[in-house]
Structure 1
Amino acid sequence: MLSSTPLPTYAPVEPGWLADFAPIGLTELEAAALMDRSEYKFAFPLAQLPELLLAVGGAYRVLSAGGQTVQGYLSRYYDTATFEAYRAQHLARERRHKLRWRLYRSTGASFLEIKRRERGVTRKTRVPAPHPQPTEQAEFLATHAIDPTVLRPVIDVECSRITLVRVHPTPERLTLDLNLRLISPETGECHAFGKVVIAELKCPGALRATYFHGIARQLGLRGGSLSKFGVGCALHYPQLKHNLLLPQLRQLHRLQARNA
């Protein structure tokens, strides 16, 4: 059963933290959707969030949807009984995909989304989906050679998200995920990382060509691989091989413990 309760707030996002950001609406955001993009991830302590927002203020705009600048996200990821998608993620295969149903709580919109990674580029496609049932979207999945009848839910990911957008001169989208919870759809067991922020930069090309690259260096942030889907599966299914994900797991646990 998917949770319908609001996410807990470990540390409020003070209104002043986002005061320097002009708003951007969903319509304008879709015009710079970056469905084909490079992605770079950074994890850092929640206590550093005000410093980061101050550093990028004025250069980005903040998404405002449903009157909120902090959005609630809920994603359910699917995989086969043999965890084919997870195994491809764990081995960092050049060509791989993830399938998820995502609910945007601030607007109530929900989609079935496929994220494919090929040659370092991530491509996202999606279709409106009112229910977390892939079999209801069999026609869409068939066009991507995915059989929904062999899928099952394996991990639920909940978080609160701030979305920052830079349109000119080159598009960038910086998402900041707070209150991360990785939940087993079967047992309801939850691993929470409320003291950690996961930043993800989405851009057309190389990190060094982005505005955020300079900010990351200024703040001492190092980009790397960090998959919420992969980490969630590794935590909830210990029988799966996860040695290649150990650096990501250790980083999350270290940041959480250091700021507890």
Structure 2
Amino acid sequence: MAAEARSPRARYREQNRAEIKAAALQQLAEGGVQAVALTRIAKDMGLSGPALYRYFAGRDDLLSELIRDAYDEVAQAVEHVDGASAADDARATLHALADAYRGWAVAQPHRYLLIQGTPVPGYAAPPDTLLRARAVLGPFLKVFAEGDPTKTLRPVVDEMDAWVRREADVAGWLAQHTGLAPRDAAAGTALAGTVLAWSQLHGTVSLEVSGQYAGMGHRAQTLLTAQLDVLADSFQL
């Protein structure tokens, strides 16, 4: 297997796949997901249509690869913060994770909107997309596992407690990042904080990268910082 991966033929194939993805990302940046067209990519690369289909089965297959790559990159950005943050300063870690997430999105808005924007009509993401999305949020679980939620948050925590006890894959995700079991007291708290943080991030960052804050009197970073401080207060971090 390793010898095959190093063969000239395998390297040529990977090079062409990388060039196809780069061309698709350029189209995505220029015109959104509707602009991604395999026929145009093939023409620009000097390939026939059938030749291009040797690398990707179709547009949806290509989009799936772009989505996987995007999730993996933003996951690496937040995991890097997770590895470098002081374990005893949950609030600072929360802000650093959010900054990494937002920084990636602002630098590559077309890729952020591909994974978090309006769903592509007729496209169904592969199952492993969910695992990659959860990898992005995994480090947030560790932060909120230290929290002590206020009474106002109890309904959310209770629903998260029921969720983790009901769904084995959610329990596995939680255990991977925190070591918590479904019946642990902090399980629902960790999930509740993470879902709430994601909601704050997604709302603010999506509005920012789509230009909805243009002409308003605030910076998105200022707004997000305030939102996360309120959230941290509600979990007594």
Larger Rg: 2
Which TM-score band (shorter chain)? Answer: under 0.3
Give me the TM-score of the superposition, normalised by structure 2: 0.28
More helix by share: 2
Give me the TM-score of the superposition, normalised by structure 1: 0.26
More strand by share: 1
